[in-house]
Copies of this chain bind each other. A is one copy, B any other.
Amino acid sequence: MTSADPARAASALDLGLLAPGRAGSRVETETGDGAYLQALLDAEAALARAQAALGLIPAAATVAISAAAQAENFDLRGLALSASVGGNPVIPLVGALRAAVGAEHAAYVHRGATSQDIMDTATMLVAERARVVCLADLDRVAAALARLAALHRDTPMAGRTLTQHAVPTTFGLKVAGWRSLVLDARDQLAGCTLPAQIGGAAGTLAALIPADEAHSVFELVVRYAAEAGLDAPELPWHVLRTPVAELGGALALTAGALGKFAADVLVLGRTEIGEIAMRSGGAGGSSAMPHKANPVNATLIASAARQVPALASVLYASMVAEDERPAGAWHAEWSSLREALRQVGTAAELAANLAEGLDARPERMAANLALSDGLIVSERLVGELEPLLGRETARAVLSAAAQAAGQQGTSFRQTLGETPEINALIDGKQLTEEDLDQWLDPAGYLGAAADLVDRSLSRLPRTGRSRPAK
C-alpha cells in the first residue's frame, strides 16, 4: 500500500469490518487482492513457460519472468489506482512486470496475450484455490452431519409444515436431509470446469503462434493450461462465459444448501422451541444482555444465502456479452464472482464449525411433541379409524374431539375415549384402550424415517476432482 496517503487509504479500503466471519477466514486469504495479484502473475508465468516449452520464447526469459512474478514485489494499491486508465489491472501490471524482468526479457512478457487472457485465467486460479478451501469445509459439514444423523437416527421430533406441527419425524432424518443437500452442492461445485483462458486480442490466437503453425496452437493452449494448473478450454471463452456462470450457479446452490441448514438451526434454537444447543461455533454474546446466546454462525450463513443468488444473477446476465469482448458485462463479473466465492467460502467455514458443535436436545423435542396432546398424529388416527368407522365418520369424530379438547382444555385422549363412536368400537372389541394409547404415541408414527436415514448416509461425496489442489 505504498502508493497512497496511508490515512486516506485506510479510510478507503476494505479490511473486513463489515464482513464478520470472512475476516480472518481461509477463503479471504485465497480471494484477496494480494491473492488475485499473485494469480495474475501466475498466469503470466504459466504463459511464458508454455511458450518456452514450445520453443516460442527463450528459456532464459521464462526463468526471469517466473522469478519476478511474486506479488510482494509489486505495488498493489498502485496497480489498483492505475487500472482505471485502461479499465483493468492487467495493463499496468504488464508494464510493471516488464520493468521487473529488465529490457532483455521484457518483450517475452505477455507475448501475444490480451488483458482478458490473464484476467480470466487468474480468476479461474483464484476460484480453484477458493474452491479447495470451500470443499474441505463442506466435507467437514457433511462428516459432522453424518455423525449427528446416525446418533439421532431414531430421535422423534415434531415435523413442521407452514410453521405448524404436522406429523412426527426424526431429528436424524432432518439432519440427513441437510447433509444430502450439502453433498448436492459439494458435488456440483467440485464438478465445475475451471479452464485457463488464452485467445489473444479477439480470440483467434493470432499473435500467439506463427501463421503457418496455427494448427499446432492447441499444443500451446494445453500446455498453458497445464502450467497454470487449470482445465484446458475447448475454445477461447472470452465471450462464451459458461465457466463463470456455471460456477456462479454452483455457488448459489451451495449458499442455498447451507442456508437451509442455518434456517432450521435458527428455528430449532428459538427460545420457545429449544431443540438444539450449540457447543461452539454458534453462540455469540450480547453486550447489553448477559443472558443471550445468539446463533451467530447460523445468522451469518443466512445472510450469505440472501446475497449469493443476486450475485449469481449478475453472472448469468453477464453471459450476454456482445462482440469479442463486451463493454461492461465482463467487468461486472469480477467483483460479483469474488464476492460470491467469499460469501460461500465464509459460510462453509461457519457451517463446519456450527455442525461440529451442534447437539440435539431430545427432551425438548419430546416435550414439544407432547404439546398438541396427540393431535400431531391425527393423520394416523384417521388412517386407523377409517376402516372401522368409514372415512366421513372417522374424520368427524376426530375433528369434534380435537375441537372439544381445544375448547374445554381437557385431554384429546380423554375426550376421544368418551366419544360414543369410539366407545362402541371398544365395546364391540374392534378396538382396545391400548390401541388408542399406541396410536397416540408420536414415536410410533415415524414411517420410514430410520430407513431413509440409512439410505441417505450410504451416499458418499463424488470423488470429483482428481486433480490435486495446488
Q: Are B17 and A33 in contact (CB under 8 A)?
A: yes
Classify chain A: how many residues form its interface, as a range.
Answer: 35 or more
Flag whether A469 is at the interface (Cβ < 8 A).
Answer: no
Contact with B along A389-414 (1 / 0, CB 8 A): 00100010011001000000000000
**Are the CB atoms of B36 and A24 closer together than 8 Å?**
no
Q: Judge whether A467 is part of the interface by a CB distance below 8 angstroms.
A: no
Judge if A163 is at the interface, Cβ distance under 8 Å: yes
Instruction: Flag if A234 contacts B180 (CB, 8 Å).
Output: yes
How many angstroms between the C-alpha atoms of A252 and B311 in the bound complex? 13
A306 contacts B332, C-beta separation under 8 Å:
yes
Q: B16 near A33 (CB under 8 angstroms)?
A: yes
User: Is B296's CB under 8 angstroms from A252's CB?
Assistant: no
A174–B203 alpha-carbon span in the complex (Å): 9
Asked if B33 and A446 make an inter-chain contact with CB atoms under 8 angstroms apart, the answer reads no
Which one of A49-57, A132-140, A316-324, A426-434 contacts B? A316-324
> A402 to B240, Cβ gap below 8 A?
no
Q: A239 touching B313 by the CB < 8 A rule?
A: no
Contact of A398 among B180, B290, B447 (CB under 8 A): B290
How distant is A405 from chain B, measured CB to nearest CB, in Å?
A: 10
Interface contact B319-A259, CB-CB below 8 Å: yes
Cα of A306 to Cα of B202 in the assembled complex, Å: 23
The B-contacting residues of A in range 176-198, CB under 8 angstroms, are 176-177, 180-181, 184-185, 188
Measured in the bound complex, the distance between the Cα atoms of B301 and A332 in whole Å is 10
A8-61 residues with Cβ-Cβ distance < 8 A to B are 8-21, 23-24, 28-29, 31-38
Contact indicator B320/A260 (Cβ below 8 Å): yes
Chain A residues 330-387 with CB under 8 Å of chain B are 331-332, 334-336, 338-339, 368, 371-372, 375-376, 378-380, 382-383, 386
Q: Which residues of B contact A300 (CB under 8 A)?
A: 84, 87, 328, 331
Across the interface, A450 reaches (CB within 8 A) one of B214, B267, B339, namely: B214
Expressed in whole angstroms, the Cα–Cα distance for A246 and B201 within the complex equals: 34
User: Quick check: B28 and A266 within 8 Å, CB to CB?
Assistant: no
Give complex CA distance A445, B205 in Å: 10
CB nearest to A444 among chain B residues: B211
Assembled-state Cα–Cα distance A38/B7 (Å): 12
Q: Assuming A256-B245, A329-B306, is B106 touching A391 (CB within 8 A)?
A: yes
Verify if A294 is at the interface (C-beta below 8 Å from B): yes
A423 on the B face (CB < 8 A)? no
Task: Assess the A295–B329 pair: CB atoms within 8 A.
Answer: no
**A184 contact set on B, CB distance < 8 A:** 240, 242, 246
Contact A87 B294 (CB under 8 A): yes
Interface flag for A308 (CB, 8 Å): yes
Q: From B24, B201, B375, give the contact of A159 (CB < 8 A).
A: B201
Bound-state CA distance A456–B400 (Å) is: 43
A150 contacts the other chain (Cβ, under 8 Å)? no
A161 and B323 within 8 A (CB): yes
Interface pair A239/B206, CB less than 8 Å apart: no
Q: A162-B299, A310-B336 are in contact. List 5 more A-B contacts (CB 8 A).
A: A86-B285, A160-B271, A201-B379, A256-B317, A302-B327
A to B CB contacts below 8 Å, 18 in the list? A12-B35, A17-B33, A17-B89, A161-B202, A162-B295, A164-B269, A177-B203, A180-B240, A181-B319, A207-B383, A215-B448, A259-B319, A259-B320, A260-B319, A290-B382, A307-B335, A309-B313, A335-B339
